[in-house]
Chains A and B, each alone.
Chain A
Amino acid sequence: MRKSELRYAFAKSIPIMFSYIFLGMAFGILMNQAGFAFYWSGLISLIVYTGAFQFVMVPFLSAGTGLVTVALTALAMNSRHIFYGVSFVEDFCKMGKRFPYMVFSLTDETFALNSTTEFPIHMNKRNLMFYIAVLCQIYWVIGSVLGGIMGQVIPFDFEGVDFCMTALFVTIFIDQWRKAETHIPALAGLIFSMVFLLLLGADNFILPSLLLSTVVLIFYGQYKSTNIDTKGAEDHE
């Protein structure tokens, strides 16, 4: 049973495997070129474990940037993660000893996978979510350590391989669109992020667009539930 769950989780994690190993390698290579041995890139991928910000850490580490700047940049770049846990509060809180790890390992990709996969009913959903989370971090750490060891020696030219992350998000977006009862959340996210991207530029649009989406969805949820309530009341009459 457990073995079949692990196999299922592995199959689901394959798209992330490619992007994490290659992106992790790119991070390790960057660290190596900045003069940091592979165990540093491995350590960062083990305990910080966040995509884009790790790449920003490289110049910070080589320049000896102050801790306040480091903290503020981490805060700004990773603020989107505040929203990810909202969908998992109930599931993660029932996971006992695994709870802290599930919270810690909530990256863009594990969020994307665990929030959209329709897990088979005969398998334990929470086991699968945990296996997916652990497998993803293993890929990321392996990539970072490999890149840190290899340095400039890259076995083949993999420019453009990071596109698999974009492709993964596109497929998940389409899957969600197909399953959704209402397209309001997807449209809100799409429209707000495009508008803020044009208004505020590539570095600053995520937080305001997620905030506005959240506010709009809270109101939409209220509107929907009052509508259902009045409908129900009418039915009773």
Chain B
Amino acid sequence: MNNTQILLTILVSAAITICLRAAPFVFLGRKGELGPRVRSLGNMLPAAIMATLVVYCLKTIPTGAWGENLITIVGVAATALVHIWKKNTILSITVGTVLYMILVHIL
């Protein structure tokens, strides 16, 4: 691939990504005035999206190996428990990730 082709590939990827991110702003109006329906949707959607992203991070579980799944579940459980207990985002992420990394290395 020559440099022009590389650059074209990058530009096409960038253009598609930007269009997707800009879509709601184009369709819902740049003026910034929203109807109550869209506003209520905008308030509720983040929770649904976060739930989907959590599932996205765990998407290998249905097809994954038993050992890997166990490590992932232990990591998520540790993160969640520490977070429910201490309510400190950085602490929860650190404990969960370090535990996960240790388990990945041991098993």
Contact = CB atoms under 8 A, between A and B. Distances in A.
Contact of B53 (A14, A164, A167, A169): A169
Contact of A221 (B25, B40, B96, B105): B40
A48 B17 CA distance: 7
Interface stretch (A79-87, A134-142, A147-155): A79-87
Counting chain A residues whose Cβ lies within 8 A of the other chain, the interface size class is 35 or more
A167 B41 contact: no
A57 B13 contact: yes
B106 to A, nearest CB: 11
A128 to B, nearest CB: 16
A163 B94 CA distance: 10
Q: Could you tell me the dominant secondary structure of chain A's interface residues? A: helix
Interface residues of B, number: 71
Contacts of B51: 173, 185-190, 193
B23 interface: yes
B58 A205 contact: no
Interface in A90-145: 90, 92-94, 103-104, 106, 108, 111-112, 115-116
8 contacts: A48-B17, A90-B42, A93-B32, A167-B75, A176-B46, A185-B45, A185-B51, A186-B48
Interface of B: 1, 5-6, 8-14, 16-18, 20-25, 28-34, 36-60, 62-63, 72, 75-76, 79-80, 83-84, 89-90, 92-93, 96-97, 100-101, 103-105
